[in-house]
Amino acid sequence: MAVAGEVVGHSSLLGRSSLLPDPKILKMEQTSGLCFSMPVLFPAKQGRLPSRSLRVMRPPVATISEEVLSLVVGKPAKIKVRAVVTVRRKSKEDFRDAVANQLDALSDKIGRNVVFELISTESNSKTKAPKKSGEAVIKDWYEKMKIKGERAVYTVDFTVDSGFGEPGAVAVANRHQREFFLESIVVEGFASGAVHFLCNSWVQSTKNLPSKRVFFSNKSYLPWETPEGLKELREKELMELRGDGKGLRRISDRIYDYDIYNDLGNPDKGKELTRPNLGGEKLPYPRRCRTGRLPTDTNLLCESRIEKPHPVYVPRDEAFEELKQDAFSAGRLKAVLHNLIPSLIASFSADDYDFQCFHDIDNLYKEGLLLKLGIQGHLLHKIPLVKKLHESSHGLLRYDTPSILSKDKFAWLRDDELGRQAVAGINPINVERVQVFPPVSKLDPDHYGPPESSLTEAHIAGHLNGMSVHQAMEEGKLFMIDHHDTYLPFVDRINALDGRKTYATRTIFFLSPLGTLRPVAIELTLPPEIVGGERRSRVLTPPCDATTSWLWQLGKAHVCANDCGVHQLVNHWLRTHACIEPFILAAHRRLSSMHPIFRLLHPHMRYTLEINALARQSLINAGGVIEACFTPGPLCMEISAEYYRRHWRFDQEGLPADLIRRGVAVEDSSQPHGLRLLIPDYPYANDGLLIWSAIEHWVNIYTTHYYPNATSILSDTELQSWYSESINSGHADLRHSHWWPPLSTPTDLSSILTTLIWLSSAQHAALNFGQYPLGGYVPNRPPLMRRLLPDDKDATFIADPHRYFLSAIPNVLQATKFMAVVDTLSTHSPDEEYIGGIREAAWTAEEEVLEGYKEFAAEMERIEEEIRRRNGDSGRRNRCGAGVLPYELLLPSSGPGVTARGVPNSISI
């Protein structure tokens, strides 16, 4: 009568579920000695939860008891269980998809269908092999193909022995023509309750992948906790993901491997597109994902290129999902349209088309691209496509007004704005405290001349509010943005390029009593004319008349151009995108998907390999956007590699360590976060420390839950393998550096993970999503300069300094190309996942971890409110005041589009 009791106890469920057999039939089966389990189907909506949501799926209640698992003593009974399978459909299908779907429907009818097999956490006591169910198939694939919707939900029925145990894995074989996206599987009917499998992966046809695809349940296991039935599968999966390092990778592959950056040049198209390989002793660099493409014809050490629209290989599950791809394609279309007309006009004329006045720049936002710049004239008769595009593009040819113009159109001209953007702009991580004056270069004096700066006390003494230089230094009032050593080795080669001119720059700032930074000197340096000779330097100080005012503006433009280059090539690309990629590759290769640390890192790895591959294809490659838009041109990536060699240190990439390294903060246990900022109103650091501390606290909760002591860290072979490979293979050129943090204690692990999550989320957000809002107005931050400073008696300069300035910054074609690109880079996708929002499904299985994440998510809400409060505090002059932009780049949440706010979990653009 045990079964009868179960039936009575769930009468309401029986009444609601059409999937359960009639109770009368059940009663007949009970009296006849048959056992039929009663799985209750809860087809809860699967997929990604809305951003910043903490809804928890309530697990289905088991409808059988332990008493019904065996009706005959000593003989295992057969029980029936059911899997609910959710498949995500494509929202758009092309002709090939439609044909493939019809073929799949046909093959489904003749038995070539999708096959599932349950794998137990237990092994057979005799064979030692995992216990497995029989194979079962989706029977209604064809019928549900006709139903419209974002998802299709199927059921699969299994019959297993009562002693099967708990399912720990599901094996899937796709015998159809095409891949499909498997979102989730929920297995119901076991006494232990529903078992969830969050898959979110493409399942390839057996034509491409003969072996079955295995998915593990949401329950996390450290290596030594792995159930017997899953041990072999755990290792087998990791071996498959590592591959053998050979051959050309297919788009359908799921193989993660390393390679150097030998795919940026295109020597087969011409010597001018040859670029040195990055990675190795000569030009150290992090490793990237291997594609296995054949070498070029003219250089066997270079990998052949694949150009748009053909995709660059990334492991299949790393590619953009459909919503992200649509948003990215729309941004790319907008960028193409913005760049197409300038390119067409350039092909008809050799004229550089300088901006004739600042009103021309304003017209880009008001009237539309190039159509009111006075350059169309007879050219538009030659290219009527321009007129058609303008008529049919629905505003796509008009740029949105950047935020920098929204509150004060002339803010970029003010000196205090240069200082404000040093702490609240898109590159707020280069300002450092002056601790030696004059500053001293660390470059080899035999090649670059005496190391001492040309700056003197006389240059700045009159701008320090009555302080001496020594007093200002002692009281922490002097700061600097120093790009001298980064640029000087490349200056001569850059200045030899057509239309590119630069200096090695230093800018000295004084911290005013109001808490703002005021530039007091700019040093512009050229290398010695002969090796070992004197450097040629020019020092500018705040102007006192019209001539020096224009020279000062030109000097600031050169400072900003250098800062743009360092921001894009070093701080943005190298220190987030490129340096994170090896850790992601190693995580997939060495950490099982059921490892708790993999599940902690998983949200912070989304889309990064894909966006990096796209960057290698069209942004950082020879002749790509970065070379076209930034002063160093073809030397861009060499500058990036040189910084990696000389300066990059993982142990100083965390926020507190970076602030201390730059001298803008000191350790102080009496202060929040254990730091005292020397620039009290430092929006990036103020807001960043809130997020850093929240991440650190959450990671501490998570790691200590799984690792109570040092022994547990040292004995975790997968964890140690991941960290070791990240260093020795992913950052191979720096593997012998002394500064790599150890991984021996839970504290070590927490520190390493906090740094990785910080870099992938908040650090990247602070450096990326303000690019168009602040840089979309080119005079504010020109990405390149075309002229050196004139002599103060230069006739053309004296006659028309306004025109000279416009001829020094990017011309119309260069500016519009740059604006189009940073507009795309600053855009949030509609499917973006923000910090503190979506969590891993596995976390719900561990109460302590779930509570820790709820606390973390709530802290993100509090941080958002605190940042809003700070932006309304009139005492914070760097983020509040007349004409001052609020600092919102570290506000955790955002909507889609160019919002200048929002902290995504991962580097996804």
| pLDDT tens-digit map of 163-180 | 999 999 999 999 988 899
More confident residue, 442 or 362: 442
What value does the mean pLDDT take over residues 845-866?
Answer: 95
Per-residue pLDDT averaged across 558-572, rounded?
A: 98
Under 8 Å CB-to-CB from 909, ≥6 apart: which residues? 328, 607, 611, 768, 824, 825, 827, 828, 829
pLDDT band for position 334 (50/70/90)?
low
Mean pLDDT of the chain: 87
Model confidence band, residue 843 (pLDDT cutoffs 50, 70, 90): confident
Q: What is the DSSP string of 520-569?
A: EEEEEEE--SSTTS--EEEEE-S-SSHHHHHHHHHHHHHHHHHHHHHIII
Which is it for the CA torsion 272, 494, 640, 890, positive or negative?
A: negative
pLDDT attached to residue 209: 87
Please tell me the predicted confidence (pLDDT) of residue 74. 53
Tracing tokens 């303000």 back to the chain, one arrives at: 770
Predicted pLDDT at 192: 86
What is the per-residue pLDDT for 370? 46
Are 348 and 370 in contact by the 8 Å Cβ rule? The answer is no
Q: What is the mean pLDDT of residues 782-809?
A: 95
Catalytic residue among 176, 459, 567, 764: 764
**Cβ contacts of residue 488 below 8 Å, gap of 6+?**
441, 443, 448, 504, 525, 527
Rounded Cα distance, 606 and 109, in Å: 37
Backbone φ, ψ for residue 180 (5° rounding): -140, 160
- pTM metric for this prediction: 0.89
The angle that helices 847-871 and 683-706 make with each other, rounded to 10 degrees, is: 170
Whether 378 is a known active-site residue: answer no
List the catalytic residue out of 459, 572, 588, 828. 572
The pLDDT, as a whole number, for residue 58 is 43
Q: CA–CA separation, 564 vs 415, rounded Å?
A: 18
pLDDT-based confidence at residue 70 (cuts at 50, 70, 90): very low
Which residues sit opposite 506 in a β-bridge?
482, 523
| Distance (Å, whole) CA 705 – CA 342 | 57
Grouping H, G, I as helix, E, B as strand and the rest as coil, residue 464 is: coil
Residue 733: predicted pLDDT: 98
User: Beta partners for 478?
Assistant: 510
Query: Which pLDDT belongs to residue 351?
Result: 58
- The pLDDT of residue 333 is above 60: no
Chain centroid to CA 356:
38
Let me know if 828 is a catalytic residue.
no
Comparing CA positions, the residue from 515, 519, 816, 442 lying closest to residue 683 is 515
Residue pair 892/735 in contact by the 8 Å Cβ criterion: no
pLDDT tens, residue by residue, 680-727:
999 999 999 999 999 999 999 999 999 999 999 999 999 999 999 999
H or E stretch including 747?
Answer: helix 746-758
Residue range 277-282: mean pLDDT, rounded: 96
Asked if pLDDT for residue 462 goes beyond 50, the answer is: yes
SS3 of 277, please?
coil
The answer to whether 284 and 647 are in contact (CB under 8 A) is: no
CA distance 728 to 739: 14
- 692 vs 291: CA distance, rounded Å: 35
Percentage with pLDDT > 90 across the chain: 71
Residue 18 has pLDDT above 50, yes or no: no
Beta bridge partners of 897: 828
- Looking at residues 76-90, what average pLDDT do you find? 90
Known active-site residue 764: yes
3-state per-residue secondary structure call for 474-528: HCCCEEEEECHHHHHHHHHHHHCCCCCCCCEEEEEEEECCCCCEEEEEEEEEECC
Distance between CA atoms of residues 860 and 902, nearest Å: 11
Angle between helices 579-590 and 228-242 (to 10 degrees): 140
pLDDT higher than 90, residue 583 = yes
Q: Which of 262, 768, 871, 878 is catalytic?
A: 768
User: What whole-number distance in Å separates Cα of residue 447 and Cα of residue 491?
Assistant: 13
Instruction: Put residue 442 in one of left, alpha, beta given phi > 0 → left and psi -120 to 50 → alpha.
Output: alpha
Chain segment 618-662, per-residue pLDDT in tens:
999 999 999 999 999 999 999 999 999 999 999 999 999 999 999
Nearest to 271 by CA among 298, 231, 243: 298
- Identify residue 461 by its one-letter amino acid code: A
Residues 6+ apart with CB under 8 A from 244: none
* More confident site: 353 or 245: 245
Q: In terms of pLDDT, which residue wins out, 335 or 536?
A: 536
For the chain, the residue count is 909
Reported confidence tier of residue 46, pLDDT bands at 50, 70, 90: very low
Residue 572 appears among annotated catalytic residues: yes
The more confidently predicted of residues 542 and 388 is 542
Res. 465: pLDDT tops 80: yes
- Six token digits for residue 23: 């109770």
Active-site option among 10, 176, 567, 577: 577
Average pLDDT over residues 840-859: 89
Task: Please say if the pLDDT value at position 750 is more than 80.
Answer: yes
Q: Which of 293-297, 338-342, 865-869 has the lowest mean pLDDT?
A: 338-342
